[in-house]
Amino acid sequence: MTESSRQALAILRDPTQFQWHVIPLLALTVYVYAVEVERRNWNLVFAGLAFWGMDWFNELWNALVFHVSGHAAVWSAPGRTAFLILIGLNIEICFMFAISGIVWGKLLPRDPGLRILGVPNRWFFAVVNSIFCVLVEIFLNHADALIWEYPWWGRGAPWLIFGLGYFPFFVVSYWVHDLTTVRAKVRAVSVIYAVDLAAAAVFGVGLGWI
């Protein structure tokens, strides 16, 4: 087991790590969604929920990698945090992803058919925004806030961080955004969260692997 994994396990779901900055982060997250609900902007509300649900899926399989390998997760967050939820997910990251889908959705042109540099704008923004997120992760890794232990996932091999870590988030979020009915959006987001909850129930509550 790597040293970063030991450090993360030492604080995993330890309530004594609590810090008061969690409360304004929670308030900010609720406010962001409340604004869009007030405006009945369901495209952004469900795009945000889809983005968040996709991140939970990634965090769950990352935790399973640690259990199966007994060596390290693909990424871990052993540094200072108010609460480490999973080995690679702290409460600060969680709130950030909770509102990210809404933030990124606000960049989308109203016309889904509009092309940018000859590329459909949804695909254009999915690629550009994913690259931006990868660059942010590289900075976090350089600052030792986010630890990578495998050579195929890191600064020398960023394509998997792009292809698995972010690009699917944007593709799914934008797809949900553009679904034509609220019912369709609810169904899509429900499937994402059903998978997340089932995995958490089986591998977390049931088996205690994560």
Dihedral sign computed on CA atoms, order 31, 33, 34, 36: positive
pLDDT 10s digits, 61-88 = 999 999 999 999 999 999 899 999 999 9
**206 within a domain of the structure (yes/no):** no
pLDDT surpasses 90 at 207: yes
| pTM recorded for the entire structure | 0.94
- The model's pLDDT over 2-40, given as tens digits with 9 standing for 90+, comes to 999 999 999 999 999 999 999 999 999 999 999 999 999
Q: What is the mean pLDDT of residues 128-156?
A: 94
In this predicted structure, what is the pLDDT of residue 101? 96
Could you tell me the residue range of the domain that residue 12 belongs to? Answer: 3-196
User: DSSP secondary structure string, 27-84?
Assistant: HHHHHHHHHHHHTT-HHHHHHHHHHHHHHHHHHHHHHHHHHHHSS--SEE--SS-S-E
88 within some domain: yes
Distance between CA 105 and CA 122 in Å, rounded?
A: 10
Query: Which pLDDT score, from 0 to 100, does residue 102 have?
Result: 97
Q: What is the mean pLDDT of residues 135-139?
A: 95
Percent of the chain residues topping a pLDDT of 90: 97
What phi and psi, each to the nearest 5 degrees, are found at residue 109? -65, 150
Q: Give the Cα separation of 208 and 79 in Å (integer).
A: 23
Mean pLDDT of the chain: 96
Evaluate whether residue 78 is within a structural domain: yes
- pLDDT higher than 90, residue 178: yes
- The reply to whether 125 falls in a domain is yes
Task: Please check the confidence at residue 156 and state whether its pLDDT lies above 90.
Answer: no
Distance CA 162, CA 160 (A): 5
Is residue 210 a part of any domain in this protein?
no
Question: What is the number of structural domains in the chain?
Answer: 1
Residue type (1 letter), 22: V
Radius of gyration of the chain (CA): 18
Q: Is residue 207 part of a domain?
A: no
What element of type H or E holds 11? helix 3-11
> Is 11 within a domain?
yes
Does residue 98 sit within a domain?
yes
Q: Token digits for 208?
A: 């205690």
Banded pLDDT at 128 (limits 50, 70, 90): very high
